[in-house]
Structure 1
Amino acid sequence: MNRILLLVNITGLIIGISYGLHGPILPVFAKNIVGATYSELGLIGLANFIPYMFIPIFVGILLDRINNGYLLSIGVIINSLSIYLLSIAQSVPEIMGFRIMTGVAHAFFWPPCESIISEESNETTRVKNISWFTMFFVIGFMAGPLLGTVFLEGLDITYRVLFQITAFILAGTIITSILVSRRSIKNHKEHFSFSTLKEMKRFPEVITLLVFCTSSFGIILTIFPAFLNDNGMSDGDILLLYFVFGISRVASLALAGKFARKTSQTLIAATLAVSVGLAISIFADSIITFGIALILMGFGFSIFFPLTLEIILSKTPKNITGKIIGAYETVFGIGWVVGPTMGGSITETLGSEAPYALFCIIGIGITILAIISRKKLEPNRVLN
């Protein structure tokens, strides 16, 4: 692993810690301290993810023109500030405003890191390097809840102080992002154009799978912690469950290189695992059964990312890589908006188990689609 990849992975690790430290507990904070309803939790999730429907497109254009380390530094600054501001939030609209900032910041974190890794990789190492970066992020996301348990239960600090600590931890990544910005860059000097974004239309099957995966993932990140709390899980239980969720994700990403040899079969297994995990969530009544559900979903959510990105990049000319990464991340934003918005409103109208039942049924249909389209879910390297 070269120096640049190491710095990017360290950045992902620290940001993952900060996300894991505050993310799973934010819905509980919003519900129990601020008084948010399930519909409002969905709106908070919507506020967090809706910028990701648009900002990655513009970041993707900038990726081919500006030092990616500078873009990453912008994301770190905005993200740290947005999380710190949560410590003074007194209402749902305030939380939504600060989560909009977080969504913008995330668009300046993930696509630049993907672009840097792509530039530092070749065709044979790209899946592995992207998987390792994601794994470092997930390791941090996995460690964050454990650290949060120490702070909340061991040191007996408040949620608001936890957000402040998280912001300072996240701010530490400004060092690694500045070091990354000092590397030599290879700008493609492409003219400003949205025409290359139409390349994504060549991958309807991949887009469909991604929207389902990210919609489900969005619910698990924004609604599920409150659902766990209502089903008797304490703050410590919730953080422990997301630690287990993280273990599943890390294990999946560590094996991504091997899974890439059978991409279509792995994606079929991933959609099925998410569907089964959602089904188990409906009937779960203990920390063990909830843990099994999150283990299955952790595998499905994590393995989707490197394999679907590889399918698209392997069939895309290198001179538009940045723009394609931006468009790819925009698909993530669409799913993350759809999931929490639907999940919150469905919970309010049909009951707390309803969104998981609905997405389980959708997941079964997506699995059938993946089986039918398996030939189109294999990467190639003709254009690279």
Structure 2
Amino acid sequence: MRNISSLELKLHASAFIIGLGLSAPAYFIPIFLQELGASYTLIGIMGSIRSTPYAVLPILTGFIMSRYDMRKLYVLSSILSSTGFILLSISQSYLEIGLANFLLGISMVFYWPIAESIIAEFFPEDSRWKVYSSFSASWSTAYFIGPIIGGVLAELADLRTLFGISGIICGVAVPLIYLMGELRLKNISKIRFKDGGLVGIWPLYVMVFLFSIGMACLILLAPSYFYEAGWSNFMVGTVFTVFGITRTIGYVLLSKLKKIDEARIITLSITIQSIVIFLLVYARPEIIFPTLALAGLINGAYFVASFSVISKKVQMGYRSISIGFLESIIGLGFIIGPAFIGLLLDYLNVWVAFTITSLVILSALPVMLVSKNIR
């Protein structure tokens, strides 16, 4: 019989370690490119390269999970992220940087989607909500600690050193994941999308796509924008630490509730995300710090609500497929978003770029009106 408590502990610990390795340098990759002379367009393209695997592969992994030990899929997140950061630390050309970003993108395919599917498929229904919340708190805690550590290392040493250390951290999770034991799903003889409840929540996928464009703007372009506005590496790291702290608070607060209104949370999060993106035009610390604090809070709440919709509306055995598709949609937003917004920043101005992006996010609200399965 599987030791659920032990599995949960190893899952949370590995999520924290990998999350720490991924987050410490994440916001400094755009700055690294900018120091090499890259334009916003090229920075956006590099972000899209990193996001491309996440737009395609999660849904495929959702289908193959029934055939393979999910532990072996999950460990790839540690191995590939370690390799990607080490390559980035020694890169000498945009081609090598692009390859490193591509490897990092693939590593993320085996991070969140696999871990979330383990929760959805291997934990008892009555504890699934609690496990997901604590898992989210684990990786998001790493994501608010990581940027400040990254900022300090970037100031004390340099960005290449930061990338190398992050690669080592990611690799530490490998033995821990193997100690989780075999995690193999039962085969689903025939996939019936309509019967599994996958089609019924299509509005959720549309809203997640539009919401993720705002996420991509914050994570992949805002750091360079702040840096160009005169912010130090330490300040950039600190503001995203604040973002991470409030995101964790969002996870923790929601986990304390006995019941949540998914539709209300999603609607409110979309509205606030739109406002947050618009306020980026000011690039002043006294505005950006509270703005990103609010952004972190609603980002945490939004994806808890989305997971809850899947957990309630999609049948057992199909949830890993639905999670994979959801994560692919997020990846698609991270492909289109950075390139689109980067072009707007290069060829128009920040007011137009962030206003258009804000309106794109806000366009998700009408979708909620037709979301009978979510409301």
Under a length normalisation based on structure 2, what TM-score does the superposition of the two structures give?
Answer: 0.92
Give the structure 1 partner of residue 29 of structure 2: 26
Distance change in 2, residues 1:260/1:291 (3 Å): farther
Give the structure 1 partner of residue 340 of structure 2: 342
The answer (yes or no) to whether the contact 1:5–1:120 under 8 Å persists in 2 is no
- Report % sequence identity: 22
Give the structure 1 partner of residue 166 of structure 2: 166
Give the structure 2 partner of residue 305 of structure 1: 303
Q: What amino acid is the match of 1:126?
A: R
Write the deviation string for residues 175-213 of structure 1: whole angstroms up to 9, x where unpaired. Answer: 221112x14x45212247696899543223211210011
Q: What amino acid is the match of 2:159?
A: Y
Q: SS of the counterpart of 2:317?
A: helix
Give the root-mean-square deviation of aligned CA atoms.
Answer: 2.1
Segments of structure 1 that go 5 or more residues without pairing to the other structure are: 379-384
Q: What amino acid is the match of 2:237?
A: L
Q: SS of the counterpart of 1:261?
A: coil
The whole-number CA distance in structure 2 between the counterparts of 1:211 and 1:26 is 23
State the Cα distance separating 1:276 from its structure 2 match.
1.6
Runs of 4+ in 1 over 6 A off after TM superposition: none
The whole-number CA distance in structure 2 between the counterparts of 1:79 and 1:131 is 24
State the Cα distance separating 1:120 from its structure 2 match.
3.7
Write the deviation string for residues 221-275 of structure 1: whole angstroms up to 9, x where unpaired. Answer: 1111001111121111100000110111011011123285222111111111111
Write the deviation string for residues 250-304 of structure 1: whole angstroms up to 9, x where unpaired. Answer: 11011123285222111111111111211221234x2121112211211222222
Q: What amino acid is the match of 1:75?
A: S
The answer (yes or no) to whether the contact 2:270–2:361 under 8 Å persists in 1 is yes
The answer (yes or no) to whether the contact 1:273–1:299 under 8 Å persists in 2 is no
- 1:104 matched to 2:106: yes
Give the structure 2 partner of residue 62 of structure 1: 64
Distance change in 2, residues 1:58/1:305 (3 Å): same
Distance change in 2, residues 1:353/1:201 (3 Å): farther
Distance change in 2, residues 1:194/1:88 (3 Å): farther
Q: SS of the counterpart of 1:164?
A: helix
The answer (yes or no) to whether the contact 2:262–2:308 under 8 Å persists in 1 is no
- 1:376 matched to 2:368: no
The answer (yes or no) to whether the contact 1:275–1:363 under 8 Å persists in 2 is yes
Q: What amino acid is the match of 1:170?
A: C
The answer (yes or no) to whether the contact 1:64–1:323 under 8 Å persists in 2 is no
Distance change in 2, residues 1:260/1:375 (3 Å): farther
Write the deviation string for residues 86-125 of structure 1: whole angstroms up to 9, x where unpaired. Answer: 0122222321111111111111122211111123433343
Aligned length in residues: 371
The whole-number CA distance in structure 2 between the counterparts of 1:72 and 1:245 is 26
Write the deviation string for residues 320-355 of structure 1: whole angstroms up to 9, x where unpaired. Answer: 232222222211111111211211111111123433
Q: How does 1:209-248 map to 2 (within 5 A)?
A: 209-248=207-246
Segments of structure 2 that go 5 or more residues without pairing to the other structure are: none
The whole-number CA distance in structure 2 between the counterparts of 1:353 and 1:161 is 35
Give the structure 2 partner of residue 381 of structure 1: none
Distance change in 2, residues 1:198/1:44 (3 Å): farther
Give the structure 2 partner of residue 323 of structure 1: 321
Give the structure 1 partner of residue 5 of structure 2: 2
Q: What amino acid is the match of 1:2?
A: S
The answer (yes or no) to whether the contact 2:206–2:367 under 8 Å persists in 1 is no
- 1:135 matched to 2:137: yes
Q: What amino acid is the match of 2:166?
A: T
Give the structure 2 partner of residue 35 of structure 1: 37
